[in-house]
Structure formats: C-alpha cells, structure tokens
Chains A and B, each alone.
Chain A
Amino acid sequence: MRDTAVGNATLAKTRRNSELLRRLVKNRALYLMILPGFLFFVIFKYIPMGGLVIALQDYQPYLGIMNSPWVGFKHFERLFAEPMFFTILRNTLLLFFMNLLFYFPVPIVLALMLNEVRREMFKRFIQTLVYIPHFMSWVIIVSISFVMLSMDRGIINELLVMMGFEKINFLMSNEWFRPMYVLQIVWREAGWGTIIYLAAMAAIDPGLYEAARMDGANRLRQIWHITLPSIRSVIVVLLILKIGDVLELGFEHIYLLLNSMNREVAEIFDTYVYTAGLRQGQFSFSTAVGFFKSIVGLILVMGANWLSKKVGEEGIY
C-alpha cells in the first residue's frame, strides 16, 4: 500500500519532469530567441555585479580578479575617512533635493496648463515645441548653454552689460553651478515629463467636471478638487522613481559641467568614480565608492516603495 503510494508519487514526479522537458523542447525556438538577450544581461549586467568583489581586493589588472590579494574592507574604511567623501555626499544630496524641489513639480504644472487648453492645434503646437529638447544629447544642451553663457560674446552676458550689470562667469563659479544645473534639467525634461500626466488626465471622467461646475466650482477649483486628486497615484509613482534616482544625478550632464573651478560643488559619486578609477587607476577604491552608491540607491527605492504602499498608494512593484 505504502509502496504503491511512493511509487505513484515517483511516477507523478517523473511524469511532471518529462512534461516539463516536453514543453522545453517544444518551445526551443522561443528559448533560442531569448538567448542573445539573456547573454547580454549576463555578460554586461550580472558579471559586473560579480565584479564588485574587487572592492574587497587590491585589484591588479595583471593579476585579475582570481589572483589579486584580498584586503577586506580597507577601501571602504578609506572612503569614510576621506574628507572628499562628505563633500561628494553633500553635493549629491543637495543636487538631488534641488532637483526634487525645483524640477519635479514643473511637469505637473505644465501638464495642468496644457490640459486646460481646448484648442487641439494650439495644444499640439506647444507640445511639439516643449518636447524637442528631450531628444538632444546633454552635450548639445550644455554646448548651447555654454555658447549663451560664455564671458566672451555670450548673449546673456551681453544683455547683462546692456542693462548696466557686470558680466558673470556662470561657467566657472561655485554659486552658479546649481541653478544652472537645475535650469538645464527643467529646460530639457519639463515638456517630456508632461506626457504621462496628460495621459492620466485624459482618463478622468468628464462627468466629474460637469458635476463640479453645477456646484459652482471655477476652473482653478476644478483643477484643485478633480484633476489633481485624480493624478495623485501617478504623482506618487513618479516620486518614488525619482527618489530611487537619488544617486543617478546624470553622470554625463555633470561631467560636462565639471571644471577645476566648480569641483567643490559639482563633484558627485559618478564623476569621482570616473576620475579616481579610470583616470588614476584606483580600480578597487573607486569600485568601493560605486558599490556604496548602488547599495544606498537600492535601499532608497525599496524604502520609498514600502512607504508608498504604507500610505495606501500602489507602489511600483
């Protein structure tokens, strides 16, 4: 009796296994389609994650990961002892908060404004204009700013002189770096950022507005009591994504703006990793810096997501 039960179980197991095998063979074409992409993720995403172990070594290119000596947390200890570490941390956090405070609300306001436009032609025309900068590389955006802001014939400085002010060296100063950084982001991304909000607004039931009008709500009150609450969950999701990006401040953008005069306010984790790692060859130390950054980033996304679920919103996963 018991034997038969065990026998049946084994039989069922083998049958399940052969069933699985049959499905694997049947779908072999699909697995073959996935394979190149799968290899891409393994080679260029997962092997580098494994490569993080060099943060615990004194990595020597000649010896490779296998033979380089293990040194424990030496590089992390050095990181926290380095005065530069706190400058970088402060810069990263400050730029992030400025980004959150001065950039994040702009696409929402812009989308609210566009949503109130009833002339389709006008709306589409403005959208066409404000989307354009998103497709320009940071090199192009920064180059245009440089041409306009330069001390030598830059239009902004020429205008300042015309109005009787002194010229300002925007590109090589500590005070102007942060405003310039935020303005460039607003200019490039504000229009593009409206897309998702506009889509959410398009899904709002028009009956709600009608009811509000019956109750005597004017346009501003309709925005405040209907449009904004309706896109609340979208705002929360985008806010989480943004918080997850705390440490992804745009390596390329800042690298382009960075110079010897504004290093004190402009150096962030990524630019530091680049200089210390690739320029100065301190592979292990800069990997430790990058590792620290990635971990903090991961914790922040997960924390923000947890918080959003806690307050009754959906979260991103």
Chain B
Amino acid sequence: MVQDKTLGSRLFDIVNYTLLSLIGLVTILPFIHVIAGSFTTVTELATKQFVIIPTVWSLDAYKYIFSTNTLFRALGVSVVVTLFGTLFSMLLTALMAYGLSRKDLDGRGGIMFMVVFTMLFSGGLIPTFLVVKELGMIDSLTALVVPTAINAFNLIIMRNFFQNLPEGLEESAKIDGCNDWGILFRIVIPLSMPAIATISLFYAVTYWNTYITAILYLNDAAKWPVQVILRQIVILASGLTADTSGMEDFVRPPEQTVKMAVIVVATLPILLVYPFLQKHFAKGALLGSIKG
C-alpha cells in the first residue's frame, strides 16, 4: 500500500494523520487537565480555566488531601487487596487452566462448559450477595478478592496458552521423572511468562479499580479502598445525593484542585505500570479474543 503516491493517496494520508492526532489529543487532554490542575492553586485554575502547564506551581491540594489519614488508609487497603488479590487469582487461574489444558483429562469438556455457561447466565446480585453474607465475608476484605477470584475470560486465555505449548515438553519431562506439579511449576510456568504477566496485570488493574464490590460488601468506611473514597470526594461532594457517609474528614466541599489531586492519586499506580502493561497486553488480549 505504501507505493501509492498519487495525489489522492497523499491527501488521504494528510486527512488521516490529522484526524488521528486530534483523536489522540482529545483522549489525553482531560487527563493532562486534571494532572496539571492538581499541581496549581485554586486562583490560577479559576482565572485560566484550562491549564496544561501551571505557571504557579503548588502542592496545596496534596497537602490538604494527606492532612488526614483517610486517603492513606484507603491507599493501603487498595495496595493490600491488589497484591494479595492478584496473587490469589493468578494461582487459582493458572492451576485450573493447566489442569484443563491437558487433553487426556476425563471430564474436561464438562468443566469447560460449566465455566463458559457462567459467562452467559448468572444468579445475579442478590443471590450472590446472600452467599457472600452466609460465608461471613461482609465487612471483610476477603469479600473484595474471593467472590471474584477467577475471571472466566482470563481462565480461557491461560488455558489456550498452555494448550499451545509443544506436547513433547511434557513427555520428555515425564520421562525424566517429573510429576504433574513439577511439570507445571518447573516447565510450563517458566515458559508462559508472557501470558502470566499479561493476566497478572489484568487482575492487578481490576483489583486496583475495585469499587462496586466494596460498595456491596463493605459497610465499614475504614476498610474502603481508594476508588470508594474518590467517589465520596468527587462525585458525592458535587452535591448530587444526600448520602455523605465517609465525608466526615472533608467537611467543606473540596475545591477543584483537591478533587483533581485525589483523582491523580487514585490513578497514579496505573499510570506508573502502564508502559510495562502496554508491552504485554496487546498480545495477551489477542491470545484470548482470537482463539477464545
């Protein structure tokens, strides 16, 4: 296609590149606006409206949001849930995916059907809530991890990846006297690092972004992860509902700069892992979508 050097083709390129640049800009501008806004003063934001690089730099907003320990505590909860959750999910997913990847296993088709069916039909909110409640997980951080431990889609991606590894590897490991656990942990997992990295990052992002499960299962504000606090400070503080629980630390309605700072803090970890994330995810997503 590159060889096409006609006028029409060049015009097409110009229009295409311009439009794509604009789309890229529109996608990213809101983030830049919020990040820049969080590092400036309320007055600068008020007089200049749109700030890309602040002329007056200020950390006031950050000083304010970290003046109480509400946000520190929430960040701590999110970090713990993300770390343990990712580990737990990955372990369960990898084990199950490996077992299901072995073609000689009796009952494998039935179990796969059982997994796929959960993607089409579910008991819904209330029955799931009642199960979680019966298990005594209400107001416990385990409620953020255990009821959502395995994502069926991630499981299928992992299984397909394992299935595509050459079978000869397992055969030769067996001849060398390796049992199934040895094959999984000493051969299959080390060879699957790209898939494991991708799925781990998917899980980690999901756990960092955990919000609705916290709303459903945690009444105790001290255990809320950072996304719930973000909602309290930005969305509820916009005066849209009468529900101001958890607002006690932020008595007066927060300024724009403060809201922006909280958004940045809640987003930061993803922005930090993003470059690393990006290297892997396209491959990972394809793995799942094409062979899924």
Contacts and interface: CB of A to CB of B under 8 A. Distances in A.
A290 B105 contact: no
A290 B211 contact: no
Interface string B42-59: 000110011000000000
A142 B235 contact: yes
B157 interface: no
Interface string A94-129: 000000000000000010011011100010011011
B33 A155 contact: yes
A219 B1 CA distance: 9
A44 B23 CA distance: 41
A29 B99 CA distance: 9
Interface in A143-169: 143-148, 150, 152-153, 155, 158-159, 162
Contacts of B290: 196, 199
Interface stretch (A6-14, A83-91, A250-258): A250-258
B241 A29 contact: no
Contact of A278 (B49, B129, B181, B270): B129
A24 B106 contact: yes
B126 A37 contact: no
Contacts of B126: 51, 54, 273, 277-278, 283, 286-287, 290
A135 B230 contact: no
Contacts of A256: 231, 235
B99 to A, nearest CB: 4
Contact of A37 (B23, B93, B146): B93
B27 interface: yes
Interface in B108-136: 111, 114-116, 118, 120-132, 135
A41 B114 contact: yes
B286 interface: yes
Given A139-B209, A139-B266, A23 B106 contact: yes
Given A52-B127, A139-B231, A256-B235, A209 B240 contact: no
A290 B123 CA distance: 8
Interface in A234-257: 244, 251-252, 255-256
A274 interface: yes
Interface residues of A, number: 98
A176 interface: no
B106 A51 contact: no
Interface in B193-227: 205, 208-209, 211-212, 215-216, 227
Contacts of A128: 278
The majority secondary structure among interface residues of chain B is helix
Contact of A48 (B122, B267, B281): B122
A137 interface: yes
A152 B49 CA distance: 12
Given A132-B28, A195-B282, A118 B2 contact: yes
Contact of B131 (A48, A131, A132): A48
Contacts of A220: 12
B123 A45 contact: yes
B249 interface: no
B141 interface: no
A52 B124 CA distance: 8
Interface of A: 20, 23-24, 27, 29-31, 33-34, 36-38, 40-41, 43-52, 54, 110, 113-114, 116-118, 122, 125-126, 128-133, 135-140, 142-148, 150, 152-153, 155, 158-159, 162, 171-172, 187, 191, 195-196, 199, 206, 209, 213, 218-220, 222, 244, 251-252, 255-256, 259-261, 270, 273-274, 277-278, 283, 286-287, 290-291, 293-294, 297-298, 301, 317
A137 B155 contact: no
Contacts of B102: 27, 30
Given A33-B184, A147-B263, A23 B104 contact: yes
A-B CB proximity, top 5 nearest: A48-B123, A51-B127, A37-B96, A290-B124, A137-B209
Contacts of B227: 137, 139-140
B67 interface: no
A274 B105 CA distance: 41
B21 A126 contact: yes
B96 A31 contact: no
A38 B256 contact: no
A114 B12 CA distance: 12
A252 B212 contact: yes
A255 B23 contact: no
